[in-house]
Structures are given as C-alpha cells and as structure tokens.
Amino acid sequence: MASSISGNGGALLLASICLGGIWLYRRVSTLRNVPGPPSSNFFTGSLLDLIAPATGRDWQIHVNNVYGGVAKFGTLFGGSSLLINDPRALHHILVKEQDVFEEWDAFASTNGLLFGPGLVATTGAQHKKQRKMLTPAFSVKYLRGMTPMFVNIARELETHISSLVKGSAREVDVTAWLNRFALEAIGRGGMGHSFGSMAKATEFSDATKELAATVSVMVPGAPFTPFFKYLGPRQLRRFVLRLIPWSLLQRLVDIVNIMDNEAQKILKEQEKDIDAGVDDKDGKDIMGILLRANRSSDESERMSEDELVGQISTLVFTAMDTTSGAIARTLHLLAQHPEVQTKLRAEITEAYHGQDEAIDFSNLTALPYLDAVIKETLRVHPPIPTIFRQTMQDTVVPLLHPITGADGTVMNEVHVEKGTDIFINIIGANHNPKTWGEDASEWKPERWLSDLPESVTKIKDLAGVFAHQMTFIAGNRACIGFNFAQLEMRVVLAILLQSLEFSIPKDKEIGWNVGLLMTPVVKGSNSIHAQLPLIVKKVNA
C-alpha cells in the first residue's frame, strides 16, 4: 500500500511539474520573439536594474532606445515582463483598450494599505465612480478662483526664504520649503484646511515628507502587498505589522496612522462646515465640491466615509510630493543653466514688476518662456518615471514603430497573454528619439518656442493629456490634477524668481534617485530622504 501511494505521489508530482513547465513555457513563449536585455540574475531578472536608485532611470531609457518601443526583460524566477514606450502601444493600453490593461494589483493594494480606498487604490467601476465625481473639482473654472490663494501661499514661501538670505547668499535645502508650500496649497485648495505656518515643520508635514522615500526603499516587496488584504480589517493588519522588528516598516506604520488621523479630522471639519452652511474658505476647495456632490448623488453612487477619507490622504500625497518634486527639479535646472534663469526672470519681472495682484490664471499661462521651461522640465524629468499595468485577457498590442524580433522578423504588433505585467515607460516615451529627435534627452526649453517637428505633432492623438508627452499619462487613470500642479509651478516660479537667484553649491553633487518618485539626493549622503541644497541669494544683492 505504501509503495502504491508513493508511486501515485511520484506520478502526481511529475504531472504537476510537467503542467507547471507547460504553463511557464506558454507564458514565456508568447513573448519569446520580443527582443530585450539579458537578465542580470535568475532570481530577480532585471528588476533590480529597473529600480536601481542611481541608474534605473538611464536603464529604462536605454532599453527602449536599443531594443525598440516594446522590450522584454526578466523578472522574478525566470518570468518576463514588457517595458513599453511605443506611442501607438501606449495609446492602445491606456486609452483604447484600457479595460484590458488594469492597474497592477500590487500597486493598487499598496496604495490601499497606505491611503485607503481612494482614487489611486481602486479599479474598475469603483474607480470610474470616484473619478466621475472628482473631475469637476479640477476644472479650469475652479482653478482660476484658486490662483490668488496660490499667490498668497507662494509669497509666504518667498518671505521665509528671503529672511534666511537677506544678509548674504546662503545654502538652503529647498525641498523642505517646497514640500511645505505644496502641502499648504493642497490643504487650502484641496480641503479648505490650513496645515499651519511654513515657518516650522509639524508632525504631519514631517510624515508626508518622509512617505515617498520610505515606500521607495520598500518597493521590491510590493508584489507581496496583495496578501495583506487577507489579514482582516485595518487595525488587525497594523497590529500584525507592529510585530515585525524593522524600524523602517514601523516608521511607515506611524506615517500612515498620522495621515489617516489627519484625513479623518479634515473630513469631520468639512462635513461640520457644510452642515452649518459655512462658505468655502478659499473659494471652491476640492473636497468641499466633492462632499456636496456626494450628498446630492443617488445613494448607489455615493462614496462611503472610508472612500472620502481615502481621497483626502491620496490628494495630500499625490499633490504634495509630485508637485514639490517638479518645482525642485525646475529650480535645480535653472541653477545649472543660469542663462535660462536670467531669461526667465526677465520675462516674469517685465510681466509683473513685483505686483502680486497682477498675477492671475490667464496671464500666467500666457508667458511663453515660463510655459516652455515647465513643459520641457516635465518632459525630460517626469516626477513619476514608470507606472504599471497587467493584462486582464490575451490581447494584441499594435506598434507605431515596428521592432525586429529575436528571429529577425519584423513585428508590427505583439501578442500578450493574460496576466502579463506591463511597465509603462513614461520617461522612455518622453525621451524617445523617434518622437523628439536625437536631442530628446537634452533639456532645451527653446524647442517649445517654435513649431514642434512632425514626429511629435503626428502622435498628438496617441500621446498623453499634456503637451504630446506621457508625464501625466492618458485615459481614465490619467493624472486628474495635472492642471492644478502646473498652476502651482507657474505661481511659485513667478514669485520666487523675481527676488531670488539660485545656483549650485560648489562642495556638493546632486543626484536624482529612482523610486516611487524621482527624488533629489546629495551624493555620498546616507539619508534616504529628499535633499536639494542650492545657494540662494537676493537678486542684485
């Protein structure tokens, strides 16, 4: 009997191995002819190359430039994924067949654990419901009314920095100040809530500042986050995490708790004001608009309290880190290119002559060089370099630029199997020489002051929602706040550059690390958190 069981068990094991081999072969075989770089390691494939802090950005650009708009690369335990920057393929994935390419489960699960069921953590019908209700609050109509409030906050920022350098030039870590500006802008513009003076950090501002860097360090563990949803309710999950002796993880739990508590507090304040008939504090704030729309909707369409809290945490994170990072990158580039900084300052000074009241939405968008600097910065240096999708069914992805397969055949499309992970190469698309020319990776604001080449304009219907580029992606998961972010950038630059001059410290080298976001770091520093020290002085001082 024992030998019979052993024999049956051996046969079952052999059959399982064979089936597993067939399954793995089928997964690999559908992509076997797609070219791509060799894996660096059997266990991790090329994943560590893609997310390497100092070199991952350049690796992503290099792979698609060398192997074509769709490239295969190795992942965990011999698996394969696709890195894509071909314009037609991206339009197909993000717009035309967006229901076939859903948010990566690990990404949505991670966002759900961090922020609750907000816009970046939901998929399918729930996501569409939330986006439909939020979209009106980000319209140009409401942004016009927010402009004076942004100007006031930017002037407070300028006043604080000027007070530091009024005697002489001084090194200033601009990331700390820009984070506080962006936090206050989304606080007042997004929630009708002030987080306090920018003069000093708070527990909440410190928590939000640390979140992106802390999560970025833990990115390699993202594939395991979907399992946490099986641990029960939020409090139980946090209890379990508290048992893990890892200081970085414990700090992340603290950050999430601080953000969640603040979001619940803000929601209660908003609901209390609406019940009391209090007008919005700075015009039409986003959450006020959302809450009123939610109350007037049919019960089946309303968001739950958890969803509303999730929107607040999501708005704070997405609006603060991405926007402050984009402004920081612009100031860094202007410090590296003083001739551009001088030209931009002249345009701004001529337009406003130091008069804050003259700055409004219409004339901010009518300054050609400011517009060019912002567009070129967002193109060459998108705050988020890569996003993820997963195929929900077997499908075919068409290509604008055919690739040469491993067997030498020309491929005008790629057959992709259900369950394949897709890495949307945002930075690679923005640096694609077939679109932007051989100087695609150069930061040249002047390219926006004349007619763009046909290679750019012909993909207008294929590219993203902003300036023929993929920085804010496209489709039903495109960045809902891209106009909000641009307005913040325009206002801050218009205020700061009239009175302050920025240059590079001689004793420090600045790098930008790949992570959840692109993060400025001082090379040689052991800190994982954003740092961008610049020499700041008063203009003509």
Which residue carries 């953590």 as its tokens? 121
CA distance 82 to 35: 10
Q: What is the pLDDT of residue 28?
A: 47
CA distance 486 to 481: 9
CA distance 54 to 511: 7
Residues of the chain scoring pLDDT < 70: 1-30, 219-224, 226-227, 229-230, 279-284, 541
**512 SS3 class:** strand
Residue 462, Cβ neighbours under 10 Å: how many? Answer: 20
Q: If you count DSSP H runs as helices and E runs as strands, how many of each does the chain have, helices first?
A: 20, 12
CA distance 488 to 147: 9
Q: What is the pLDDT of residue 29?
A: 55
Structure tokens at 171: 């090194």
Reported pTM:
0.89
Using an 8 Å Cβ cutoff, are 123 and 131 in contact?
no
Residue 192, Cβ neighbours under 10 Å: how many? Answer: 23
Q: What is the pLDDT of residue 430?
A: 96
Tell me the C-alpha to C-alpha distance, in Å, between residue 219 and each of 180, 212, 262, 529. 25, 10, 25, 15
Q: What is the pLDDT of residue 103?
A: 86
CA distance 151 to 488: 9
CA distance 104 to 444: 34
CA distance 415 to 84: 13
**441 SS3 class:** coil
Tell me the C-alpha to C-alpha distance, in Å, between residue 115 and each of 174, 234, 298, 405. 26, 11, 25, 42
To 5 degrees, how large is the angle CA 22–CA 24–CA 26?
65
CA distance 79 to 42: 9
User: Which of 368, 353, 320, 356 is closest to 158 using CA atoms?
Assistant: 356
Which residue carries 């729309």 as its tokens? 293
Q: What is the CA radius of gyration of the chain?
A: 25
Q: What is the pLDDT of residue 419?
A: 92
Using an 8 Å Cβ cutoff, are 131 and 476 in contact?
yes
What phi-psi label fits residue 529: left (phi over 0), alpha (psi between -120 and 50 degrees) or beta?
beta
- What is the identity of the amino acid at 55? T
Q: What is the pLDDT of residue 109?
A: 82
Q: What is the pLDDT of residue 45?
A: 94
Q: What is the pLDDT of residue 143?
A: 87
CA distance 163 to 248: 35
278-306 burial, b if ≥16 CB within 10 A, otherwise e?
Answer: eebebbbbbbbbbbebbeeeeeeeebeee
User: Which of 211, 110, 54, 10 is closest to 525 using CA atoms?
Assistant: 54
Tell me the C-alpha to C-alpha distance, in Å, between residue 529 and each of 50, 54, 134, 225, 329. 20, 14, 31, 23, 15
List the beta bridge partners of residue 82: 72, 422
**127 SS3 class:** helix
Q: What is the pLDDT of residue 277?
A: 78
Instruction: Write down how long the chain is.
Output: 541
To 5 degrees, how large is the angle CA 316–CA 322–CA 328?
120
What phi-psi label fits residue 101: left (phi over 0), alpha (psi between -120 and 50 degrees) or beta?
beta
CA distance 52 to 246: 22
- Helices 482-499 and 140-165 pack at an angle, to 10 degrees, of 30
